[in-house]
C-alpha cells in the first residue's frame, strides 16, 4: 500500500507528488523500488491521462517528433506490438482512422507472439515474425510493402547484463532482416537496442542498407536505462544483381 504524498516545504504553493511505498511482506527490494518508481513516474501518469497503454508510447512520439516518419498515408508494421502503445500513437499520426480531412489514410499493422487487445484504427495479428513466410504474410495483410517497420521488443531478462545485451541485439538484427524483406525503397526502420558494446555489427548492417543511421535516447527513456533507439532512414532496396547503393550518410 502506498502512503499519501509527502507535504511540500518548498514554499512554491505546490504539492510534493513523491509517493512513498510501504514495505509489504513477500515483496522483494527490487519489487519495492519498481513500484515506487512507477508510482512517481510522470510518464506513467501521462499515459493514463492520455489513454495510452503504457509509458513507452511517449518514446515513439518523441522519436517521430524528431524524425517525422509517421506521416499520413504511411504503412506501418509494429513488431512485438503488445501492449499497443506504439500502435496507438501511429494510428493518429498516419491518419489510419481518416480523422485528418484531406490527408492520406495510413495503415497500422501490429504483430506479436501473444494476443493483443484490439486497437482502434490498427490491424493486430498474433504472429511470430521469425516464422517462415512471415514477411509474405505481412505484405499480404498490408496490401504491399511497408513504409515503416518499428520495434520496441526486448528479450526476456536473464538478470545478467551482458547476456541481456547480446540477446536484444540479436533480436534487433532479426527485426532488421525482416524489415529488409518488407520495406519499400526509402523506408524507415526504428528499433530499441541496449548499449553494451555488441551493437557494432548491427550498425554496420544498417549502414549498408539505409542512407542514414542515427542513435538516439528520447527524453522519456529513463536515465538509468541503457536503452537507446536506432532510427535508420532511406532504405536501399536490393537490385536484380543483388547489389545496392553503398553511398553512406551516417550520423551516429
Annotated binding site for S-adenosyl-L-methionine, which residues? 84, 86, 112, 128, 152
- List the grid coordinates of 91: 494510428
Cα–Cα distances in angstroms (integers) from residue 70 to residues 11, 75, 92, in the given order: 43, 9, 9
Question: At 111, phi and psi to the nearest 5?
Answer: -130, 145
Cell of 87: 500502435
Residue 103 C-alpha cell reads as 490527408
Distance CA 54, CA 86 (A): 9
CA dihedral sign, ordered 165, 167, 171, 174: positive
Active site residue 192: yes
How far are the Cα atoms of 45, 86, 95, 139, 206 from residue 92, in angstroms, in the given order? 20, 10, 5, 22, 28
Write out the binding residues. 84, 86, 112, 128, 152
CA dihedral 247, 234, 230, 244 (to 10 degrees): -50
CA 196 vs CA 148, 154, 167, 180, 220: distances in Å: 26, 14, 11, 25, 20
Catalytic residue among 75, 103, 139, 192: 192
φ/ψ of residue 197, rounded to 5: 110, -20
The position carrying cell 501490429 is 110
Catalytic residues: 192
Amino acid at each position: 500500500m502506498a502512503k499519501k504524498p509527502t507535504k511540500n516545504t518548498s514554499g512554491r504553493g505546490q504539492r510534493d507528488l513523491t509517493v512513498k511505498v510501504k514495505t509489504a511482506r513477500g515483496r522483494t527490494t527490487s519489487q519495492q523500488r519498481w513500484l515506487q518508481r512507477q508510482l512517481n513516474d510522470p510518464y506513467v501518469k501521462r499515459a493514463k491521462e492520455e489513454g495510452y497503454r503504457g509509458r513507452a508510447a511517449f518514446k515513439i512520439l518523441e522519436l517521430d517528433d524528431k524524425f517525422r516518419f509517421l506521416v499520413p498515408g504511411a504503412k506501418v508494421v509494429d513488431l512485438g506490438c503488445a501492449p499497443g502503445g506504439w500502435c496507438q500513437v501511429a494510428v493518429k499520426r498516419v491518419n489510419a482512422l481518416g480523422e485528418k480531412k484531406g490527408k492520406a489514410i495510413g495503415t497500422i499493422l501490429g504483430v506479436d507472439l501473444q494476443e493483443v487487445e484490439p486497437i482502434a484504427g490498427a490491424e493486430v495479428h498474433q504472429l511470430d515474425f521469425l516464422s517462415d513466410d512471415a514477411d509474405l504474410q505481412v505484405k499480404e495483410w498490408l496490401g504491399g510493402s511497408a513504409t515503416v517497420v518499428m520495434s520496441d521488443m526486448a528479450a526476456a531478462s536473464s538478470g545478467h547484463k551482458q547476456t541481456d545485451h547480446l540477446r536484444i541485439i540479436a533480436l534487433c538484427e532479426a527485426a532488421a532482416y525482416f524489415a529488409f524483406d518488407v520495406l519499400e525503397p526509402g523506408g524507415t526502420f526504428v528499433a530499441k537496442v541496449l548499449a553494451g558494446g555488441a551493437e557494432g555489427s548491427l550498425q554496420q548492417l544498417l549502414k549498408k542498407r539505409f542512407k542514414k543511421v542515427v542513435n538516439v535516447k528520447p527524453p522519456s527513456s529513463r536515465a538509468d536505462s541503457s536503452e537507446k533507439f536506432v532510427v535508420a532512414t532511406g532504405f536501399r532496396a536490393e537490385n536484380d544483381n543483388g547489389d545496392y547503393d553503398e553511398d553512406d550518410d551516417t550520423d551516429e
